Amino acid sequence: MTTVELTRFRVLPEKTDELLAARPEMLKDFEADRAGFLGARLVRLPDNEWLDIVEWATPEDFAASREKGPNQPGIARFFAAIDSLVVAEEGVLAE
């Protein structure tokens, strides 16, 4: 079953352009460096909050990705634009 990572975070308004500019490289880095990465969607919410919805083939793939952290330049650049974490959750896609 597909594992879904749900991460809600805040971005300062002056960093929004940086976040969006970093996104394509972050996704390329995930595709190249993260086993089991299936795709991601970024949702803009009110009040400078964002929701990143990332799909992983297995819970183990997601756990291995978390252990790597921002180990690639595109990932590090994307993470650097984030001001604060609101909540991070993990679930299973109900198909």
Spell out, as residue ranges, where the chain has pLDDT lower than 70: none
Question: What is the strand order of the sheet 84-92 is part of?
Answer: 37-44, 49-56, 3-10, 84-92
Q: How far is CA 60 from CA 22, 57, 63, in A?
A: 26, 8, 5
What tokens does 14 get? Answer: 């002056």
**Which residues, other chains included, contact 74 with Cβ-Cβ below 8 Å and sequence gap of 6+?**
22, 24, 25, 26, 27, 28, 29
Q: pLDDT tens digits for 56-73? A: 999 999 999 999 999 999
The residue with tokens 């650097």 is 80
The predicted model scores a pTM of 0.94
